Structure 1
């Protein structure tokens, strides 16, 4: 028989709610957070209840973290020793934070990682995944949303599947990079990929290094493995990049454009054409690549600000 036990906390203050429960006589302690939490240690799991907001500053959570449907978790300088689960229309914003388990977002509004280290795999199904200046040790997969990675290191594979777009800037991917079925294509700029790189069945625009219809990209891109650009209906340009392996460019309409600053070490299979300068008129119909990042940053900042305000209104909580 399950025993629901309330564990009183003597230092619970104001109207905030950081309270602990046990799910059974043998179950690990877990804590619900509604409001502002500070530099305390949560010995078990932490749950942000549905529709509520929690902010954590310098907090250590020894167990798993669950952000329930419609809830918000904004954490800075936190240490999360377990996995993190983010529910439908929920939001998680982690700055200078360490996550030692996997991070899974299912139908979430979005996931924002800034200066954050995640040891486990990251899976985002719907919503955006926006990672800046972060270290991601596991495989990263974003599907049916938006993917933007900048100034980051991915030790595993990086996959953008059926997103609006998948953009990678100034980042290192130690595993395979796969961008498949993105409606607005993607950008690969000033980055290094040490596994194979695959762009397949994308639409609109693909800018793989160098100048393109999406704008300017300073810095060269290095692809240590093979590059496959196949079955795309996107305008695709490869330039200012070194491909150490072979390039496969088949069934693209229009055909892949290869600029004069592209170096293909392993030869070319398929059809390519020389890249021409993008006209000013063409550029005027496209957002510059940083605009997508700015748009996501604004979206994340707005949701985080709302979450902080709601947490503040709920009150400060100390253990």
Structure 2
């Protein structure tokens, strides 16, 4: 983007100041910072946007030419909008995007949650671990151009395409339904386990130390009609409370040890070697094995819908009380 002249910058600053907006030091890619509290539609923000602590910003058809910061306890709801740079969500902050494009990365630092629906993230998603936080990543019909890394909280992905490697560690659960992962997948130490259904993972997939793992059509965590496609090795080790691998196509090896109870499964097509506890799998029904974990993706979606709806309702009410944000 061609640098703005001093005359243009001064004029823009004057225009924003006359509209009652705060103007401050911007990022390296933006000369202006606009603070949003209230609602706005069909405007362009010529720089960075900040939602200050405890404020609520509701935007429809808005273009932001810089980066976005959602401060502690703040809310940003966006529909049919775009962000030219990254988004950073602070502790207990909330970011909700529908039909929206984010060109850069999205970082949650112990935020309340991130919701992406029919949206595109050009960069990577990072959910950092923060003491006392229980954030969620809840996404439908969306795409992520980079890596996805989650270090705590709740993860539910449905009809999502991810171009980078995916890692979910120390979360409560990880649901991946009808999604495409272009690279590898690592899921470890999920308290309620993980379910992978009707999805494609082109890289190696590793599941370690989870409480319940269901890959494909078997098991009791989710009613899954279609198996998964794995483009490389699948390794499951030291998982508890039930492991089932059924109805999958695996172009690499299938192996693992230390799962307790022993894994179950059937109807897999494995082109590589089958080893460890997976050498002679039997169907879950034959072993009369039931999952002890409670990782039900449908119940998870209902719970996350309730959390989202509660937060949205509060945010919309606060924004209405604040009035027009005057982003002009």
Answer whether TM exceeds 0.5 for this pair: yes
| C-alpha distance 144-32 of structure 1, shift in aligned 2 (>3 A) | same
| Alpha-carbon distance, 1:234 to partner | 3.2
| 2:148 matched residue in structure 1 | 140
Of 265, 272, 290, the residue aligned with 2:271 is 265
CA distance in structure 2 between the partners assigned to 1:136 and 1:28 by the alignment: 28
Runs of 4+ in 1 over 3 A off after TM superposition: 6-12, 278-288
| 1:310 matched residue in structure 2 | 318
Of 231, 246, 249, the residue aligned with 1:224 is 231
Number of equivalences: 307
CA distance in structure 1 between the partners assigned to 2:287 and 2:40 by the alignment: 53
Unaligned runs of 5+ residues in structure 1 are 1-5, 13-17
Conservation of the 8 A alpha-carbon contact between 1:249 and 1:268: no
| Alpha-carbon distance, 1:232 to partner | 1.3
Conservation of the 8 A alpha-carbon contact between 1:20 and 1:29: no
| Alpha-carbon distance, 1:11 to partner | 7.6
| C-alpha distance 54-279 of structure 1, shift in aligned 2 (>3 A) | farther
**Which protein has the bigger helix share?**
2
| 2:102 matched residue in structure 1 | 99
| C-alpha distance 294-281 of structure 1, shift in aligned 2 (>3 A) | farther
Conservation of the 8 A alpha-carbon contact between 1:29 and 1:43: yes
| 2:188 matched residue in structure 1 | 180
| Alpha-carbon distance, 1:282 to partner | 4.8
| Alpha-carbon distance, 1:144 to partner | 1.1
| 1:297 matched residue in structure 2 | 305
The answer to whether structure 1 residue 120 and structure 2 residue 123 are counterparts is yes
The answer to whether structure 1 residue 63 and structure 2 residue 66 are counterparts is yes
CA distance in structure 2 between the partners assigned to 1:45 and 1:238 by the alignment: 47
Please give the secondary structure, in 2, of the residue aligned with 1:183.
Answer: coil
CA distance in structure 2 between the partners assigned to 1:130 and 1:59 by the alignment: 22
| 1:110 matched residue in structure 2 | 113
Please give the secondary structure, in 2, of the residue aligned with 1:164.
Answer: strand
CA distance in structure 2 between the partners assigned to 1:188 and 1:213 by the alignment: 12
Conservation of the 8 A alpha-carbon contact between 2:118 and 2:140: yes
TM-score w.r.t. the length of structure 1 is 0.90
CA distance in structure 2 between the partners assigned to 1:46 and 1:81 by the alignment: 11
| C-alpha distance 234-7 of structure 1, shift in aligned 2 (>3 A) | farther
The answer to whether structure 1 residue 194 and structure 2 residue 197 are counterparts is no
| Alpha-carbon distance, 1:158 to partner | 1.2
CA distance in structure 2 between the partners assigned to 1:285 and 1:103 by the alignment: 31
| C-alpha distance 28-278 of structure 1, shift in aligned 2 (>3 A) | farther
The answer to whether structure 1 residue 249 and structure 2 residue 256 are counterparts is yes
Conservation of the 8 A alpha-carbon contact between 1:133 and 1:150: yes
| Alpha-carbon distance, 1:215 to partner | 3.0
| 1:22 matched residue in structure 2 | 24
| C-alpha distance 46-279 of structure 1, shift in aligned 2 (>3 A) | farther
Please give the secondary structure, in 1, of the residue aligned with 2:239.
Answer: coil
Conservation of the 8 A alpha-carbon contact between 1:8 and 1:20: no
Conservation of the 8 A alpha-carbon contact between 1:62 and 1:82: yes
| 1:3 matched residue in structure 2 | none
**Which protein has the bigger strand share?**
1
Q: Is 300-309 or 269-278 further displaced after alignment? A: 269-278
Conservation of the 8 A alpha-carbon contact between 2:193 and 2:295: no
Conservation of the 8 A alpha-carbon contact between 1:69 and 1:88: yes
